Amino acid sequence: MTDIRKNSVTLLQIDEADAGQRIDNYLVRLLKGVPKSHIYRILRSGEVRVNKGRIDASYRIQAADELRIPPIRLAERADKQVTPGTFPIVYEDNALLVIDKPSGVAVHGGSGIAFGVIEQLRQAHPEWRYLELAHRLDRDTSGLLILAKKRSALLKLHDMLRDNVPDKRYLALAVGQWPEHVTQVKLPLFKYHTEDGERRVQVADQGKYSHTNFAIKQRFAEFTLLEAQLRTGRTHQIRVHMQAKGCAIAGDDKYGHIADNKALAKHGLHRLFLHAYSLSLPHPLSGETLQLQAPLPNELNSFLQSLERYE
């Protein structure tokens, strides 16, 4: 990551990997911790210059452009608040990074969260000049998370995700007996905020089309282990689709039942039982087929074993 100095002007040259981006988007990524309002102010005032000339926020940077950035005092202070983090790496090359994200860690900062996976990785690996999330996982969901180390890879990944090319599968433990005949759920999902400002999702006609395939992996007396395959990628999709069929995910503090979750906690389950365990997709640059897996975390595996012993 380029060192943006606090008390002096920074000059840097744009390379091929960054060419084609809007200057405002490039600066938002480069100047981590600096409010967007400040970035747009220095663009409007002409303090940011390209090839010694003024540009507006819509300018697309080109390879070999010389970029002048004024002294930035906020980025350094924000960086010090981020704790460097490392996560289990499932796949890595010079364009792509896939990690096994633990439960309880947000993928990025915001909404009261100081920082997440992306900020921790950037802080731990300053040698990675480019690192962006290709998609999201809920804070409480564990498993496979894709990040791009090149802008060209990110753009291709976004195209693939939009066209539903990656085969993303999750393991989820349903509270209750999942109906044998329900192999897919197609229900529109609508996002809203509670009075406390928390984001929630509900089934509603005005919502977005959402499709999840389900397959029963194992039945227990009071639970069903399911494989959920995403056909669309809406917020909280699996969680709300399962709730709508009367079988909320075990440990779900947003869409499950408080009494169920308290009972589960007494028996050792203290988190959402949802894990992104399988991912298959062509490599965004080489086209090579990638088939990646992340085993169930120990705490989820132990809980399943306790159910098997009990029965």
For the CA atoms of the chain, what is the radius of gyration? 22
**Residue from 18, 65, 100, 138 carrying the catalytic annotation:** 138
Q: Which fold has domain 166-310?
A: Pseudouridine synthase (3.30.2350)
Q: Rounded to two decimals, what is the model's pTM?
A: 0.79
- Tell me if residue 140 is catalytic: no
Q: How many CA atoms are closer than 13 Å to the CA of 292, on its beta-carbon side?
A: 26
Q: What is the pLDDT of residues 185-243, one digit of tens each?
A: 999 999 998 877 788 999 999 999 999 999 999 999 999 999 999 999 999 999 999 99
Structure-model confidence comparison of residues 82 and 67, the more confident one: 67
- Are 226 and 304 spatial neighbours (Cβ–Cβ below 8 Å)? no
CATH class, range 10-75: alpha beta
What residue spans in the chain does CATH classification 3.10.290.10 cover?
10-75
What residue spans in the chain does CATH classification 3.30.2350.10 cover?
79-156, 166-310
Q: Which fold has domain 79-156?
A: Pseudouridine synthase (3.30.2350)
| pLDDT for 78 beyond 60 | no
- Are 290 and 303 spatial neighbours (Cβ–Cβ below 8 Å)? no
